[in-house]
């Protein structure tokens, strides 16, 4: 288990990680979701031992020194743009990783690569961005480490290959006990894999937990009101997360005390009122907008 307490990291006057506190349980896929600049990469680099935090604490399996050599061998960090030697092939990188990670399964990596039609003898520099991502995701999955850290996990992959890689992750999780922490600015990369997701914003945690469970406490209503209906009190209710209005047609996203909100809506005499399903993406958008962030910059 990874326990993070009040972790902080600044670069000059920019606070990249701002007093983050998180518990990441063993044996699950945990998501870090947020915009570019939210602090995801910095947090992963601190966990990987690449960066040192300014303050705060990290405990890994109760170890007082989480950056000791034996602990580091339990982490495989896959950055957004992984490094490889100029003429390195996938095979040579597998051998290199095998020197550092004692449980690296080269045969399984070779099998996965063949399944995806990747030539393990061909120089990686000749691969497309998507092919490189596939290659390094395979090597990460076959590293045999207890913890796998992936930044922008499926970036550069087309939808079909993304689904293939997601299935490889699911299969690996079924076969052995390890923990995956994957960061992305795309909710779709995480929602069908991660049981728990932490939403990061400006270096801090907006919310963390099972977003599907959180979605049960957020509801959306579409309504049509008569002309001249005063909606100010409804719009200013703190339980109303989002308001979208086109003339007399209004969409409300609400949380906490929704039965009271329903009574409030009905008291205004709507001509039409219907509750509609709320997706996880809409839950994320509502949470982000509640922090005052321009949501148009988020899911691009």
Q: What is the CATH number of the domain that holds 272?
A: 3.30.70.250
Domain extent at residue 277: 213-294
CATH, residue 69: 3.40.50.300
Average pLDDT over residues 17-35: 93
Residues 6+ apart with CB under 8 A from 154: 133, 162, 165, 166, 184, 186, 189
Question: Would residue 195 count as lying in a domain?
Answer: yes
Q: Give pLDDT, residue 68.
A: 72
Q: Select from 158, 192, 209 the last residue of a domain.
A: 209
Looking at the structure, tell me whether residues 61 and 47 fall in a common domain: yes
Question: Would residue 300 count as lying in a domain?
Answer: no
Looking at the structure, tell me whether residues 155 and 274 fall in a common domain: no
Looking at the structure, tell me whether residues 65 and 193 fall in a common domain: yes
Q: Give pLDDT, residue 292.
A: 59
Question: Would residue 135 count as lying in a domain?
Answer: yes
Q: Give pLDDT, residue 299.
A: 42
Looking at the structure, tell me whether residues 9 and 157 fall in a common domain: yes
16: pLDDT strictly greater than 90: yes
pLDDT tens-digit series, residues 150-181:
999 998 899 999 999 999 999 999 999 999 99
Q: Give pLDDT, residue 214.
A: 63
Looking at the structure, tell me whether residues 63 and 12 fall in a common domain: yes
Structure tokens, 108:
């399984």
Q: Select from 158, 191, 209 the last residue of a domain.
A: 209
Question: Would residue 222 count as lying in a domain?
Answer: yes
Q: Give pLDDT, residue 152.
A: 92
246: pLDDT strictly greater than 50: yes
| HEC letters along the chain | CEEEEEEEEEECCEEEEEEEEEEECCCCEEEEEECCCCCHHHHHHHHCCCCCCCEEEEEECCECCCCCHHHHCCEEEECCCCCCCCCCEHHHHHHHHHHHCCCCCHHHHHHHHHHCCCCCCCEHHHCCHHHHHHHHHHHHHCCCCCEEEEECCCCCCCHHHHHHHHHHHHHHHHHCCCEEEEEECCHHHHCCCCCEEEEEECCEEEEEECHHHHHCCEEEEEEECCCCCCCHHHHCCCCEEEEEEECCEEEEEEECCHHHHHHHHHHCCCCEEEEECCCHHHHHHHHHHHCCCCHHHCCC
Looking at the structure, tell me whether residues 159 and 75 fall in a common domain: yes
Residues 6+ apart with CB under 8 A from 99: none
pLDDT tens-digit series, residues 55-100:
999 988 877 666 777 777 899 999 999 999 999 999 999 999 999 9
Looking at the structure, tell me whether residues 198 and 217 fall in a common domain: no
Average pLDDT score over the chain: 87
Question: Would residue 221 count as lying in a domain?
Answer: yes
Looking at the structure, tell me whether residues 37 and 86 fall in a common domain: yes
Question: Would residue 164 count as lying in a domain?
Answer: yes
Question: Would residue 19 count as lying in a domain?
Answer: yes
How many domains does the chain contain in total? 2
Looking at the structure, tell me whether residues 74 and 203 fall in a common domain: yes
Question: Would residue 299 count as lying in a domain?
Answer: no
Average pLDDT over residues 32-58: 92
Q: Select from 209, 243, 277 the last residue of a domain.
A: 209
Residue scoring higher pLDDT (20 or 214): 20
Angle between helices 106-115 and 90-100 (to 10 degrees): 150
Per-residue CA distances from 85 to 14, 42, 90, 123, 127 (Å): 32, 24, 11, 9, 13
Q: Give pLDDT, residue 198.
A: 92
Looking at the structure, tell me whether residues 222 and 245 fall in a common domain: yes
Looking at the structure, tell me whether residues 265 and 170 fall in a common domain: no
Question: What share of the chain has pLDDT > 70, as a percent?
Answer: 90
Residue 287's pLDDT band (cuts 50, 70, 90)? low
Looking at the structure, tell me whether residues 7 and 96 fall in a common domain: yes
22: pLDDT strictly greater than 90: yes
């Amino acid at each position: 288990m990874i326990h993070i307490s009040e972790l902080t990291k600044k670069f000059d006057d920019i606070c990249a990680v701002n007093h983050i506190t998180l518990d990441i349980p063993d044996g699950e896929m945990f998501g870090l979701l947020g915009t570019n600049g939210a602090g995801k990469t910095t947090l992963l680099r601190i966990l990987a031992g690449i960066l040192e935090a300014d303050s705060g604490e990290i405990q890994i399996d109760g170890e007082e020194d989480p950056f000791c050599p034996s602990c580091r061998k339990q982490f495989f960090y896959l950055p957004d743009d992984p490094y490889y030697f100029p003429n390195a092939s996938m095979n040579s990188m597998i051998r290199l990783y095998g020197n550092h990670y004692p449980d690296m399964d080269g045969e399984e990596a070779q099998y996965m690569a063949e399944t995806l039609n990747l030539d393990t003898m061909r120089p990686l520099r000749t691969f497309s961005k998507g092919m490189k991502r596939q290659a390094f995701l395979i090597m990460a999955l076959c590293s045999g480490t207890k913890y796998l850290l992936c930044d922008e996990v499926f970036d550069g992959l087309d939808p079909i290959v993304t689904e293939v890689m997601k299935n490889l992750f699911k299969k690996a999780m079924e076969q052995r006990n390890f923990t995956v922490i994957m960061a992305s600015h795309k909710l779709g990369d995480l929602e069908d894999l991660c049981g728990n997701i932490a939403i990061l914003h400006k270096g801090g945690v907006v919310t963390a937990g099972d977003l599907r469970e959180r979605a049960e406490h957020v509801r959306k209503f579409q309504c049509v009101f008569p002309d001249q209906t005063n909606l100010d009190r409804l719009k200013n209710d703190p339980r109303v997360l989002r308001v979208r209005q086109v003339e007399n047609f209004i969409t409300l996203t609400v949380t906490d005390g929704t039965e009271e909100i329903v009574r409030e809506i009905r008291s205004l005499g709507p001509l039409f009122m219907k509750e509609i399903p709320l997706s996880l993406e809409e839950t994320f958008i509502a949470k982000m907008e509640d922090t005052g962030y321009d949501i148009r910059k988020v899911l691009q």
